[in-house]
Structure 1
Amino acid sequence: MISRRTFGAGLALSAFLRAGPSLAQGADPDTLKVALLPDESASTIIQNNQGLKTYLEQGLGKRIELVVTTDYSSMIEAMRFKRIDLAYFGPLSYVLAKSRSPGIEPFAALVSGGQPTYSSYLIANVTAGIARTEDVKGKTVGFGDTASTSSHLIPRALLKNAGLEAGKDYSFQHLGTHDAVARAVQAGHVQAGGLSKPIFTSLVATKSIDPAKVHVVAESRPIPNYPWTVRGDLAPGLKEKIKTTFLEIKDPAILKPFKAEAFSPITDADYDVLRETAKLLNIDLTKVKS
């Protein structure tokens, strides 16, 4: 006769074995929550990306819920606690997210100008007497968010390479967004500033910034572009399907909100340059407020 204890243990083992393969295969939710960069109003971002939503639903056979968090910090935390499944990060905010959630995986980066990279500009007000990076000494510089790649980390590195230390050789202000930096430089509220080259080019093209009042002082080396990331604990087959689906996007209407020509494969190692830059600047990424 089988004892009650043995019978109970057998049931528990049977339940574990039934659950085991499912857990090993990873999560495969019916609805995927896709987080987009909170760089405009949430309603505008969601409306502009309805084409992406439809494309992913058709390609993945899943319901897609577009999510726009209040800021980068909440986006990083949402990925950390698995409240979102895919996220489109800025390069530095990805590195910050990865440091806090090692399981997340980058799989595709924005391609612009035929490359999965972009660059940062150091700009100056034309009346500020700044012709070279070294001329920023004694001036006030506008940076974007502390977690911004091309509006904080990289411009600081450009100045560091010219022998200028933040807070010692020049003062600085964090102004939030890239366009806020450009407008502050144009108005003379700060003498110089750092921002993304594509954003600056767009601001000039739309006549939001007058090139007669602001000029480019320096341009950075190529920076790995904005990555798409996925939760590492999703089912391997689903992750592969997601990657393939993104890499096969060809529709200009879907790519337009990202100012992209396509998406290209990317790995975590491609972002080591940002980690190295942070070390150069003595920035502890674990203490950066995202």
Structure 2
Amino acid sequence: MKKTISLLLVLILAAAVAGCSSGASSLGLNVNGSKGKDTLTIVWYPNESAADLKDARDEIGRIVEKATGKKVEHKMTTDYNIAIEAIANGSADLAYMGPQGYVEARNKTEDVKPLFTNSGESGTLDDAVYYSWINVRKGDEAGYKNGDSFAIDSLAGKKFSFVSNSSTSGFKVPAAGIIGYFGKMDKYKNLSQDDLMQGGKDKFFSDVLFGGSHQGSAVNLLTGKADAAAFCDTCVSNYVELADGTANKPGAVYKVKEGAAEPFNTLAGKEFVVISVTPVLNSPFVANTKTVSEEDQKKLVDAFTADDVTHNPKIFLPKDSKATGLFKQKSGNERFLPVEDAWFNPIRELSK
């Protein structure tokens, strides 16, 4: 009898909850999704929170508003973990984040879902990559050569700058490369990611810094705080230009542009050399599916993958543009494409 009564109570409660949900939905309340929301919040990593990227952020916000009919608020951050937690806990609805950050957010909750990413020069996902660099100051590069090629042997014992331990190209990828290379040596056969996060006389690096952003890591290098530093090509492309060599190839020399915005405004003319280059999967725009309805998710994918966004010079800067932005046309085929969670499995492998 007690079991029967308990079962009836469960059924009654379930019906009551369903009825409340139905009633709330009919009133347009936010039971599950953004149907009843007036505003969508986009959270940005420190790299994309820079003041000189405001126009790019605003244009993305304008497209979101037009697609969904909702207002947009931008939430800037100074720490990767703040952005990751915000999209995971639903205090932010949308985010543009690196692959590692997405994986970490997804590990917290499957409510986080990738919507789209930028293609490669082919206009497909086949070459949808950017590049993780390990860099040294111009003048120091000879110490990182093995014959005619560059090598990372000399990194041991140096002062090194990463971006954040939640950064794909600013930590996970270069750390995996360092471990893969040095781990073949008896002395470093047990080297781990944790070993690379702290410096000291008995550690792999003599000192380890975290720039907080790719720009910050580059500044650590150029100001002499670090002997070598990891950061990516796209996050510093607004501030530096190729001075010698081939772009995204070891040996390429980059120089800080005249008139570069903060934090490079006092570093014009400073040069660095890329000694290691690794391709990385492009970064996704993601949604929290508990706060963004399926309808709005579809509207956003449709809007951002449409031709008018592909040809929007405020989103994809023309090849010869001097403006500051997040994406740039190189071949003329670049565009946004839908992307699924499984596409990021190679990034998950880096943490195993």
Say if 1:138 and 1:87 are closer, same or farther in 2 by CA, change over 3 A. same
**Match for residue 239 of structure 1 among 275, 297, 321:** 297
AA aligned opposite 1:94? Y
- Residues 25, 236 of structure 1: 8 Å contact kept: no
- Residues 204, 211 of structure 1: 8 Å contact kept: no
Q: For the residues of structure 1 that align with 2:214 and 2:57, how far apart are their CA atoms? A: 22
Q: For the residues of structure 2 that align with 1:274 and 1:243, how far apart are their CA atoms? A: 23
Percent identity over the alignment is 25
Say if 1:253 and 1:240 are closer, same or farther in 2 by CA, change over 3 A. same
Partner of 1:180: helix, strand, or coil?
helix
Give 1:130's aligned residue: 144
Give 1:170's aligned residue: 205
AA aligned opposite 1:254? I
**Match for residue 144 of structure 1 among 160, 163, 169:** 163
AA aligned opposite 1:192? A
- Residues 92, 148 of structure 1: 8 Å contact kept: yes
- Residues 105, 268 of structure 1: 8 Å contact kept: yes
Q: For the residues of structure 1 that align with 2:270 and 2:38, how far apart are their CA atoms? A: 53
Indicate the RMSD between aligned Cα atoms, in angstroms: 3.2
Say if 1:180 and 1:259 are closer, same or farther in 2 by CA, change over 3 A. same
- Residues 155, 195 of structure 1: 8 Å contact kept: no
- TM-score, normalising length from structure 1? 0.79
Give 2:21's aligned residue: 19
Pair 1:262 & 2:335 matched = yes
Which structure 2 residues correspond to residues 1-290 of structure 1 after superposition, within 5 A?
A: 13=15, 16-17=18-19, 19-20=21-22, 22=25, 26-28=33-35, 29-39=37-47, 45-114=53-122, 115-125=127-137, 126-127=139-140, 129-131=143-145, 132-163=151-182, 165=191, 166=196, 168-171=203-206, 172-205=208-241, 206-207=256-257, 213-220=271-278, 222-233=279-290, 234-248=292-306, 249-250=309-310, 251-256=312-317, 257-260=325-328, 261-279=334-352
- Residues 47, 215 of structure 2: 8 Å contact kept: no
Structure 1 unpaired stretches of 5+: 1-8, 280-290
Q: For the residues of structure 1 that align with 2:178 and 2:349, how far apart are their CA atoms? A: 16
User: Larger helix proportion, structure 1 or 2?
Assistant: 1
Deviation at 1:123, TM superposition (A): 1.1
- Residues 181, 193 of structure 1: 8 Å contact kept: yes
Say if 1:123 and 1:236 are closer, same or farther in 2 by CA, change over 3 A. same
- Residues 68, 299 of structure 2: 8 Å contact kept: yes
Deviation at 1:253, TM superposition (A): 0.9
- Residues 116, 285 of structure 2: 8 Å contact kept: yes
Give 1:4's aligned residue: none
Deviation at 1:13, TM superposition (A): 4.8
Deviates more, 1:119-128 or 1:62-71: 62-71
Give 2:321's aligned residue: none
Say if 1:25 and 1:150 are closer, same or farther in 2 by CA, change over 3 A. closer
Q: For the residues of structure 2 that align with 1:173 and 1:82, how far apart are their CA atoms? A: 31
Q: For the residues of structure 2 that align with 1:217 and 1:42, how far apart are their CA atoms? A: 27
Structure 2 unpaired stretches of 5+: 1-10, 146-150, 184-190, 242-255, 258-263, 318-324, 329-333
- Residues 56, 314 of structure 2: 8 Å contact kept: no
Q: How many residues align?
A: 270
- Residues 113, 289 of structure 2: 8 Å contact kept: yes
Q: For the residues of structure 1 that align with 2:17 and 2:154, how far apart are their CA atoms? A: 70
- Residues 120, 195 of structure 1: 8 Å contact kept: yes
Please list every run of at least 4 consecutive aligned residues from structure 1 whose deviation after the TM superposition is greater than 6 angstroms: 209-212
Q: For the residues of structure 2 that align with 1:182 and 1:162, how far apart are their CA atoms? A: 23
Partner of 2:209: helix, strand, or coil?
strand
Q: For the residues of structure 2 that align with 1:88 and 1:268, how far apart are their CA atoms? A: 15
Deviates more, 1:19-28 or 1:82-91: 19-28
AA aligned opposite 1:72? Y
- TM-score, normalising length from structure 2? 0.66
Deviation at 1:195, TM superposition (A): 0.8
Deviation at 1:162, TM superposition (A): 1.4
AA aligned opposite 1:123? N
Say if 1:155 and 1:16 are closer, same or farther in 2 by CA, change over 3 A. closer
Q: For the residues of structure 1 that align with 2:45 and 2:204, how far apart are their CA atoms? A: 33
